[in-house]
Amino acid sequence: MSIKIACGQMEVVAGRPDFNTKKVLQLISQAKNEEVDIILFPELAVPGYLVGDLWEQTAFLEDCKTFGQQIIAATEGITVIFGNVAIDRKRNNKDGHIRKYNAAFTAQNGKLISTEQGLDFVAKTLLPTYRMFDDSRYFESQEMLLKDKRVSLKNGMGSVAVTIRGCEYKLGILLCEDSWTENYPLSVPSMLKQGGAQILCNLSCSPFTLKKNSKRHLVFGKQAKELQLPLIYCNSTGIQNTGKNIYAFDGQSCVYGPDGMVKAAASMFEEKLLTFSLDKESAKIRAYSAEDELISTEDDETAILYKAIRYGTEHFLKQTGIKRMVLGASGGIDSAVTATLFTDILGPHQVLLVNMPSRYNSELTKNLAQQLAENLGCCYTIVPINDSVAHTVEQLYTPIHNYTTNRDFKVELNGLMYENIQARDRGSRLLAGFSAAFRGGISCNANKAEITVGYGTFYGDLIGLFCPLGDLWKHQVYRLGKYINEYVYKRKVIPELIFTIRPSAELSEEQTVGKGGDPLIYTYHDYLLRAFVENWEKASPAEILKHYIEQDLEAFLGCKEGLVSLLFPSHAAFCQDLEHWYNVFTGLAVAKRIQAPPVLSLSPRAFGTDYREAQLTTYYSLEYKEMKDKLLVQERLF
């Protein structure tokens, strides 16, 4: 006998059990029309996942329970498995808050179906507490739930048995991390199989991360194959955030056959009722719609990136109610790519580009900014900052009275101060003013390399509603620009010259297009900085220096071969550069990141809640100092 199963791949809105329940009920109704037997919904489909410390508000928890009951009541003639928070007011979490579980409920014909241990729900066993995940902060695990019932984990991983048209199916229910078995001392899927599970059902709320989907296919496919069980993966779409980080959820719900192959899959970033049939005897799985058989490939990283950025940005704007955007347009690549992104999402009338030249801005970049606006059909204006900067400088020379000595004195301004005055004049005076008046959000156009080293001005170019390119290295921004011209607009909306001029802040005589540019050499520093931030075991100056000495640094970093010796004429120069960037990365840049706008997160590690940091003083390990001393002594000897 074959049954029809569906994944309710839906947009989960964090903190809105009312919206989410409405969506769940709609999808149940649709599934009934399509004669679905079992429908799965994502992890925490009712409350949402990333709600911060709202988990500590009882009224919110109670509502999630009430909405959960509405879902259970709507299961006449269908089996529904959905994620919700489970609360136990008689018990506490370890921190004294009301006991909470990240749970999966199974219901049929208006009633909850208990697990084989008589529990009303299955709780998440593995609670991820890394990156942006704070599960241990809010939830207790299935292990704790069983302990309270005096059942061991080994005997407590039974399945949920549901009967469909007279035939019993034992469902092994997992929540997201429970399937990511790599580093844990126990394997939940294996334990479920041992407990008699015939079909594994994984409810997830798993955010998009570059390359994660291929990794999941490997891990989950292998699991299905080894256990010889079908494995259904139901993930949410939409966006959720942790304050500092905005995550897009890509869905990509799918079903793996006992051979480890994907048999049906829903598209990325789309709400979808993915349906397929499963035959119990033959274990054959068949997708109902041809397009559902396709697995999205990640061949073109840039195409996927654009999709994720566009989706994440569009949904974040929608959630915050922002219909227009204001951007500083400098004629550089970062602002150009950002402008094309917002225009693609909001339409050209809704995007205002402001060019704010000082006496250091070249005709070249001014023309490029204007050309970009013209190509996009955006709103555009030019507001020079010379007068206001001069006025600020004049005012900063106002005599200051010292009331102890009863004497007046004046401050002195240097070049760097003058540069920052310009940046703040553009950001906090003009862009912020236009933002309010044009009723649009400010886009922060910073890229990840700049954010890593704090190459940007506090309250200047670092302001904004959010930062869509903040998790992309400069080389990724260039690639994205090329992609946008070729595939999104299918014409050169970003003028060709923007790709070829050397990036420059144009804030002083020395730093102008043609004369000099950014101090970062992106072909190398992009990769060096990435190793500090994104490597799972974070690279340290010691590790970098070791690879430099062993002459395999380029391979380690993933940058172009031969680059290092080309860039650094001596070991001393190499170390000086390394220390300079490590100093700023761990120094003032941290202070800047604390006050930076939220970042749309795409990489394995984005600044913010994902990469947590304290303001510390920069520390070099003993090994680094030793290696460096030896190296420099050698160099001096020769």
| Touching its own copies, residues 512-541 (CB under 8 A) | 536-541
Which residue from 152, 163, 576, 615 is in contact with its own copies, where contact means CB under 8 A? 615
Residue 13 found at the interface with its own copies (CB under 8 A): yes
CA–CA separation, 7 vs 201, rounded Å? 10
Give Rg (Cα) of the chain. 28
Choice between 106 and 242, CB closer to its own copies: 242
3-state class (DSSP) for residue 626: helix
Options 108-116, 157-165, 274-282, 392-400: segment touching its own copies (CB under 8 A): 392-400
Choice between 246 and 449, CB closer to its own copies: 246
Of residues 87 through 106, those in contact with its own copies by CB under 8 A are: 92-98
Closest C-alpha among 596, 334, 336 to residue 458:
596
Which residue from 195, 260, 427, 456 is in contact with its own copies, where contact means CB under 8 A? 427
Least separation in angstroms between residue 317's CB and its own copies is 12
3-state class (DSSP) for residue 139: coil
Backbone angles phi, psi at 532, to 5 degrees: -65, -40
Query: Which residues, listed in sequence order, are joined to residue 3 by a DSSP beta bridge?
Result: 278
Choice between 275 and 392, CB closer to its own copies: 392
Which residue from 236, 335, 340, 392 is in contact with its own copies, where contact means CB under 8 A? 392
Which residue from 282, 403, 500, 638 is in contact with its own copies, where contact means CB under 8 A? 403
Separate counts of helices (H) and strands (E) for the chain: 23, 23
Residue 383 found at the interface with its own copies (CB under 8 A): yes
Closest C-alpha among 90, 104, 94, 80 to residue 31:
80
Q: From residue 17 to residue 46, what is the string marking binding to its own copies with x (rule CB under 8 A)?
A: xx----------------------------
Vertex 74, ends 270 and 158: CA angle to 5°?
A: 85
Which residue from 142, 235, 236, 242 is in contact with its own copies, where contact means CB under 8 A? 242
Which residue from 29, 66, 152, 570 is in contact with its own copies, where contact means CB under 8 A? 66
CA–CA separation, 115 vs 333, rounded Å? 56
The stretches of 35-125 forming alpha helices (DSSP H) are 58-73
Work out whether strand 98-108 and strand 111-112 pair parallel, antiparallel, or are unpaired.
antiparallel
Contacts with its own copies by CB under 8 A: the residue count is: 126
Residue 69 found at the interface with its own copies (CB under 8 A): no
Residue 124 found at the interface with its own copies (CB under 8 A): no
Backbone angles phi, psi at 114, to 5 degrees: -80, 165
Which residue from 413, 555, 566, 633 is in contact with its own copies, where contact means CB under 8 A? 413
Choice between 36 and 126, CB closer to its own copies: 126
Which residue from 33, 282, 398, 500 is in contact with its own copies, where contact means CB under 8 A? 398
Of residues 287 through 326, those in contact with its own copies by CB under 8 A are: 319-320
Residue 617 found at the interface with its own copies (CB under 8 A): yes
Of residues 174 through 233, those in contact with its own copies by CB under 8 A are: 182-185
CA–CA separation, 24 vs 6, rounded Å? 12
Which residue from 388, 476, 485, 601 is in contact with its own copies, where contact means CB under 8 A? 388
CA–CA separation, 309 vs 98, rounded Å? 37
Least separation in angstroms between residue 185's CB and its own copies is 8
Residue 387 found at the interface with its own copies (CB under 8 A): yes
| Residues with Cβ within 8 Å of residue 390, at least 6 apart in sequence | none
- What b/e string do you get for 354-379 counting C-beta neighbours within 10 Å, with b at 16 or more? bbbbbebbbeebbebbbbbbebbebb
Residue 152 found at the interface with its own copies (CB under 8 A): no
Residue 638 found at the interface with its own copies (CB under 8 A): no
Which residue from 463, 513, 553, 557 is in contact with its own copies, where contact means CB under 8 A? 463
Least separation in angstroms between residue 88's CB and its own copies is 14
Options 117-125, 290-298, 306-314, 425-433: segment touching its own copies (CB under 8 A): 425-433
Query: Can you give the length of the chain in residues?
Result: 638
Residue 591 found at the interface with its own copies (CB under 8 A): yes
Residue 129 found at the interface with its own copies (CB under 8 A): yes
Residue 386 found at the interface with its own copies (CB under 8 A): no
Closest C-alpha among 30, 78, 1 to residue 278:
1
CB of 548 closer than 8 Å to CB of 564: yes
Choice between 412 and 561, CB closer to its own copies: 412
Least separation in angstroms between residue 103's CB and its own copies is 19
Q: Which two tokens stand for residue 75?
A: 């299961």
Of residues 594 through 613, those in contact with its own copies by CB under 8 A are: 594-598, 609, 611-613
Residue 381 found at the interface with its own copies (CB under 8 A): yes
Choice between 30 and 381, CB closer to its own copies: 381
Least separation in angstroms between residue 205's CB and its own copies is 13
Which residue from 35, 76, 109, 130 is in contact with its own copies, where contact means CB under 8 A? 130
Options 114-122, 190-198, 265-273, 617-625: segment touching its own copies (CB under 8 A): 617-625
CA–CA separation, 456 vs 451, rounded Å? 7
Q: Which two tokens stand for residue 591?
A: 């202070």
Closest C-alpha among 56, 54, 70, 57 to residue 19:
70
Least separation in angstroms between residue 190's CB and its own copies is 17
Closest C-alpha among 248, 177, 242, 190 to residue 216:
177
Least separation in angstroms between residue 182's CB and its own copies is 7
Residue 425 found at the interface with its own copies (CB under 8 A): yes
Residue 244 found at the interface with its own copies (CB under 8 A): yes
Closest C-alpha among 539, 523, 525, 534 to residue 603:
534
CB of 450 closer than 8 Å to CB of 468: no
CA–CA separation, 593 vs 462, rounded Å? 9
3-state class (DSSP) for residue 604: coil
Which residue from 33, 59, 90, 490 is in contact with its own copies, where contact means CB under 8 A? 59
Choice between 58 and 570, CB closer to its own copies: 58
Is 164 exposed, middle or buried, given 0-12, 13-18 or 19+ CB atoms closer than 10 A?
middle
Least separation in angstroms between residue 10's CB and its own copies is 17
Q: Which two tokens stand for residue 92?
A: 């506490």
Options 37-45, 126-134, 256-264, 572-580: segment touching its own copies (CB under 8 A): 126-134
Work out whether strand 167-175 and strand 199-203 pair parallel, antiparallel, or are unpaired.
parallel
Give the CA distances from residue 507 to residues 14, 247, 361, 409, 518, in Å, rounded to whole numbers and listed in that order. 42, 34, 8, 28, 11
Which residue from 2, 428, 511, 583 is in contact with its own copies, where contact means CB under 8 A? 428
Q: Which two tokens stand for residue 607?
A: 């600044």
Least separation in angstroms between residue 222's CB and its own copies is 17
